[in-house]
Amino acid sequence: MATTRDPARETRDPARLATWFREVRQATEAICKPLATEDYVVQAMPDVSPAKWHLAHITWFFETFVLKPHARGHDPFNPQYEYLFNSYYNQVGPQYYRPHRGLLSRPTVAEVYDYRRSVDDAVRLLLERADERLFERVEPIVVLGLHHEQQHQELLFTDLKYNFGINPLRPVCQQREIPIGKAAPPMSWHAYQGGIVDIGWDGNGFAFDNESPRHRALLRPFKLGSRLVTNGEFMEFMRDGGYSTPQLWLSEGWATVRVEHWEAPLYWERHDGEWWSFTLAGMRPVDPHGPVTHVSHFEADAFARWAGKRLPTEFEWEHAASREPLRGNFAESGVHHPVPATGDGHGLEQLFGDVWEWTASAYLGYPGFRAPEGAIGEYNGKFMMNQMVLRGGSCATPESHIRVTYRNFFPPHARWQFMGIRLADDA
């Protein structure tokens, strides 16, 4: 796990690291504020986890990788938690069967919060008392743990949405306003010359191991669409028979469409001839100007083929995005739903936030990539197969968590994250 000083965060200062630790931990709990106890327990499909599992697992991360090796005399809160809340670290030990996380009523939510308190106290104490040499060793792991916790903040939003969304009562997770757009600005095309470009983490601030090594890539001239594809555009694809035209689809995509009976993005329902979609604020009419979301790579790819375009590679995306300011509709906005483009900017709109953008790139190691030694090396590298890269963060991503080099990845059929479409074309 490559980490280094982050001047913005100044995590090299123990007091400031402690402050950031408190902030991130509190932000997680703030997400859960509106929940009833029951909402912490359920797991509506194997890919999602119960909220209380998330709360415990990110705490387990600190206990396992910070406290156990570095806090002298650390007494485990509960020895069985090592097994229950280990997600996938084989070098730590065996793991409770993932699809069964929602079968456990115990530990209770209150016990999980107690676990958090206990680990929080111990981490704070460790940071307070650490001499320079210990801090040197502990700091990168704490920083990694906080970025890890931010990833789970995003998953809390998307997993809660899924758990609420399958409930026939379609419950409201949190009351909030979702801005409705005026007419979306027309799509324009921004051209790039390509050539040899630099890709990957430049060594400043924090980055995950999969963003390294920085290396050169060769790009042909290309164009990117100025904004995300809208719901309205996606509805045209649907009206044109997009979901029933096999030649638009990858073979595995078409098989998925038929087996899963896909006819629209996830969470869309037709009532009296109008499309509605489930949001964290309950059922809402689909805004034709808003960005389409909750589409799989298969749908993004089929849409692009229908439109006579293609998806960008992750290298094209990163090259173009590296020239744009990092701003957008992130978790902090409190909307937790993508919002329409404004057409105000001069460059590309909506590159960051709103929805993760599917790329045409398989998730593989960069040239020269080797996963770190030890259990921490299982963080990213071992998932480099049968997944596609997404870029740019979403409306559920904390703003301080995203970077232009950030690589997210999901299998091509996944839809429950805030995933959307930016088009590309050959120049």
Residues that bind a second copy (CB under 8 A): 36-44, 52, 80, 83-84, 88, 90-91, 96, 100, 102-109, 163-164, 166-169, 171, 196, 215-218, 220, 246-247, 249-254, 297-298, 360-362, 364-365, 367-368, 377-378, 382-386, 411-412, 426
> 4 or 387, CB closer to a second copy?
387
Q: In the complex with a second copy, which residue's Cβ is closer, 42 or 126?
A: 42
CB of 375 to a second copy, least distance (A): 9
Task: CB nearer to a second copy: give 350 or 359.
Answer: 359
Candidates 224, 215, 258, 132; CA nearest to 424 is 224
The residue written with tokens 């979301």 in the block is 293
Q: In angstroms, what is the minimal distance from the CB of 134 to a second copy?
A: 27
Where are the alpha helices (H) located in 33-165, listed in sequence order? 51-62, 68-70, 81-84, 109-129, 132-165
Closest distance between a second copy and the C-beta of residue 266, in Å? 16
| Least gap, CB of 38 to a second copy (angstroms) | 4
Give one word for 51, left, alpha or beta, with left for phi > 0 and alpha for psi -120 to 50.
alpha
Report the residue number, 65 or 135, with the smaller CB distance to a second copy: 65
Identify the residue whose tokens are 């995590």.
11
For residue 269, give the nearest of 168, 125, 185, 387 by alpha carbon: 168
**DSSP of 246-257, one letter per residue?**
GGGS-HHHHHHH
Q: Which is nearer to a second copy, 330 or 409 (CB)?
A: 409
Q: Which residues, listed in sequence order, are joined to residue 353 by a DSSP beta bridge?
A: 329
C-beta of residue 29 within 8 angstroms of C-beta of residue 229: no
| Helix/strand/coil for 158 | helix
Shortest Å, Cβ 290 to a second copy? 27
Least distance (Å) between residue 275 CB and a second copy: 22
Nearer CB in complex with a second copy: 164/243: 164
Burial (Cβ within 10 Å: 0-12, 13-18, ≥19) of residue 75: exposed
